[in-house]
């Protein structure tokens, strides 16, 4: 696994070990999502690579919620007056 930025729009992952000469690098998460779509043509791959990664949006929303729900001990101490 190399330090290669995923070429899917909106994906911030940098650990990619798959590469297409036509579409560039893809991370495991985007590859799994792409595989789950049943894609069978290059046109479908191109369309997928041009979509924003929903997974990153969900991760960001989840992390924001969970950080409020489960603050670190340091953040609790800093925010308690």
Among 3, 51, 2, 1, smallest CA distance to 23 is for 51
Helices 28-36 & 42-49, crossing angle to 10 degrees? 130
Residue pair 28/1 in contact by the 8 Å Cβ criterion: no
pLDDT of residue 55: 63
Residue-level pLDDT at 68: 79
What is the pTM assigned to this prediction? 0.65
Instruction: Give, in order, the Cα–Cα distances in Å from 9 to each of 19, 46, 78.
Output: 15, 11, 37
The pLDDT value given to residue 23: 96
More confident residue, 49 or 53: 49
The residue with greater pLDDT, 33 or 68, is 33
Mean pLDDT of the chain: 83
Q: What is the pLDDT of residue 50?
A: 94
- Measured distance CA(31)–CA(18) in Å, rounded: 8
């Amino acid at each position: 696994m190399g330090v290669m930025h995923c070429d899917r729009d909106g994906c911030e992952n940098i650990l990619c070990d798959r590469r297409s000469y036509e579409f560039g690098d893809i991370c495991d998460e985007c590859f799994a999502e792409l595989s789950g779509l049943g894609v069978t043509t290059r046109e479908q791959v191109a369309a997928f690579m041009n979509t924003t990664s929903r997974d990153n949006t969900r991760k960001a929303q989840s992390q924001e919620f969970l950080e409020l729900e489960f603050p670190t001990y340091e953040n609790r101490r800093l925010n308690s007056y």
